[in-house]
Amino acid sequence: MKKIISFLLIFTFGLSSCEKDDICDANTPTTPRLVITFYDNASPTLLRTVTNLKVVGVGKDDSDAIIFNESGTSVTKYLTNANTISIPLKTDAKTTSYKFIFNAASANPNVDVLTFNYETQSVYVSRACGFKTTFLLNPRDNTANSGLIQTDPAADGLWMLNVNIVKSNIELENETHVKVYF
């Protein structure tokens, strides 16, 4: 009888030390990327596909561009022909700048630079997933695009004719945050 009680006590203590696996579910929202949707400037309600768009962080080498196509070649993996893209913002800074290169595969690409100004906030997700960072564009004042600066460093003319922030709180990736008309 003592052996059975001893076994049950050891078994009970053994089970009490077990923990459930802490695995972050792939469907759990984590730090969101900035979603940019492109529209036709002549017909502002129509989506427009950007031809051979390449997005590179300012100060980065072209080989550090955002990869849009994992299975592409060393050139095509950085190019996209889409009307919506998602790009990451720096979680350890208050600004992120990107070169948006239109027709990057052509002999005459057009380069515009967008600088995003924002505030960050760490949000607890769960014990398994830890924290995620959310962003707030336009933190300094209430003007429409104070969280965004557009420049033309190559002096080749702006291909992005109008850039508007439509959702300044970047918490999810399933909504458009910035609209670009070209």
Per-residue pLDDT 10s for the chain (182 aa) are 666 666 555 656 555 555 555 788 888 888 999 999 999 999 999 999 999 999 999 999 888 899 999 887 888 899 999 999 999 999 999 999 999 999 999 999 999 999 999 999 999 988 888 899 999 997 555 555 567 888 888 889 999 999 999 999 999 999 999 999 99
C-alpha–C-alpha distance, residues 177 and 160, integer Å: 16
Q: What angle do CA 158, 159, 162 make, to 5 degrees?
A: 85
Tell me how crowded residue 79 is: count the other CB atoms within 10 A of its CB. 23
Pairing, β 169-170 against β 130-137: antiparallel
Q: How far is CA 89 from CA 80, 93, 178, in A?
A: 19, 9, 13
Give the residue from 40, 41, 37 showing the smallest Cα distance to 166: 37
Residue 108: exposed, middle, or buried by beta-carbon count in 10 A (0-12, 13-18, 19+)?
Answer: exposed
Q: For the chain, percent helix, then strand, then coil, each to nearest 5?
A: 10, 35, 55
pTM above 0.75, yes or no: yes
Q: Which residues contact 95 (CB under 8 A, 6 or more apart)?
A: 115, 116, 117, 118
Q: Say which amino acid occupies 83.
A: N
* Residue 87: HSE in the Cβ half-sphere, 13 Å Cα cutoff: 25
